[in-house]
């Protein structure tokens, strides 16, 4: 049986996440202390108490979620040693996946995440935009919708999340027009509460700044198979990973292809580290018989560790 470790993106961040782990696993505080030093603010307090508007801001949500997901993975490793066969993360979560797979050290991954959050937040402030999910339509139809809506203003596919679910990103006018066209095609249009047009050309300035930041870090070949967002394919060479991380910011997340790659790799057990159940939910839609686990507190950690130990992980 193949096992995949998955790591969520910043949309999973919420006030109060990790509260039980802070009480029961004191070492979690060290992860947040290091992130707080990088940000220059008390990230633990912000995570546990809010306000929500500040926590979900890109520059705060990304390091907070990275610190918590990394801590969940490391605590799990103590209870259930061993590597996964596959590693992947959604957008921000890609950095946590690279840390978990040994490709990035914690210090370097945290530094990159803090810079990424700041760069993206500043790009969004300079070039405002929004995002929305289009449901019940094929990928090709959504792509055609974006091409047509672009006559009004910029809008592009941003996240290919799974069958019948594509997130589009762009200016408010472009996304709104895509919503109108999706409705005409029988699709469902769901605006998202986000602070910018992630994974679109509007955040390209952040990608260019991130390209320079990535040059300063050491990347090792990952343990297991790492699947990259920008390609939806396995990547193992450090320079290829570096380039894909740069491209990831302003290009779509090809999560559908990531799911298909894991199904082809006979992944029958998936563990999502951090708050929420977004990624395990997506995997169940393409592989209903798979065993899925979400590690975000002591009880879920113990349950997942025991289950995977019984599978011979």
Contact residues for 68 (Cβ-Cβ < 8 A; gap 6+):
17, 18, 21, 28, 31, 32, 47, 274, 275, 296
Q: Is 102 left (phi over 0), alpha (psi -120 to 50) or beta?
A: left
Contact residues for 195 (Cβ-Cβ < 8 A; gap 6+):
56, 57, 58, 121, 124
Whether residue 51 has a cis bond before it, omega within 30° of 0? yes
Whether 91 is catalytic: yes
How far apart are the C-alpha atoms of 150 and 93, rounded to whole Å? 29
Whether 199 is catalytic: yes
How far apart are the C-alpha atoms of 301 and 216, rounded to whole Å? 34
How far apart are the C-alpha atoms of 167 and 265, rounded to whole Å? 26
Catalytic residue among 36, 111, 127, 199: 199
Catalytic residue among 12, 36, 69, 91: 91
**Which positions are annotated as active-site residues?**
91, 199
């Amino acid at each position: 049986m193949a096992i995949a470790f998955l790591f969520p993106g910043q949309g999973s961040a919420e006030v109060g996440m990790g509260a039980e782990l802070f009480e029961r696993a004191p070492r979690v505080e060290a992860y947040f202390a290091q992130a707080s030093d990088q940000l220059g603010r008390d990230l633990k307090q912000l995570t546990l108490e809010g306000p929500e508007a500040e926590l979900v801001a890109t520059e705060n949500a990304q390091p907070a979620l990275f610190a918590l997901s990394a801590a969940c993975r490391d605590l799990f490793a103590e209870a259930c040693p061993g590597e996964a066969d596959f590693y992947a993360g959604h957008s921000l979560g890609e950095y946590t996946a690279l840390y978990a797979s040994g490709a990035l050290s914690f210090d370097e991954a945290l530094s990159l995440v803090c810079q990424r959050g700041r760069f993206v937040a500043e790009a969004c402030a300079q070039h405002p935009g929004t995002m929305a999910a289009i449901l019940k339509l094929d990928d090709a139809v959504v792509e055609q919708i974006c091409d047509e809506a672009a006559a009004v203003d910029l809008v592009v596919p941003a996240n290919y999340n799974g069958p019948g679910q594509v997130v589009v990103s762009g200016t408010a006018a472009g996304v709104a027009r895509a919503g109108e066209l999706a409705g005409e095609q029988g699709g469902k249009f769901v605006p998202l509460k986000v602070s910018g047009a992630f994974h679109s050309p509007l955040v390209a300035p952040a990608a260019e700044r991130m390209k320079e930041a990535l040059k300063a870090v050491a990347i090792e070949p990952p343990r297991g198979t790492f699947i990259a967002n920008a390609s939806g394919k396995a990547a193992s060479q450090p320079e290829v990973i570096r380039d894909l991380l740069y491209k990831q910011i302003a290009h779509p997340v090809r999560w559908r292809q990531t799911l298909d790659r894991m199904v082809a790799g006979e992944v029958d057990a998936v563990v999502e580290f951090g708050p929420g159940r977004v990624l395990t939910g997506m995997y169940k839609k393409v592989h209903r018989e798979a065993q899925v686990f979400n590690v975000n507190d002591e009880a879920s950690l113990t349950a997942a560790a025991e289950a995977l130990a019984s599978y011979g992980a």
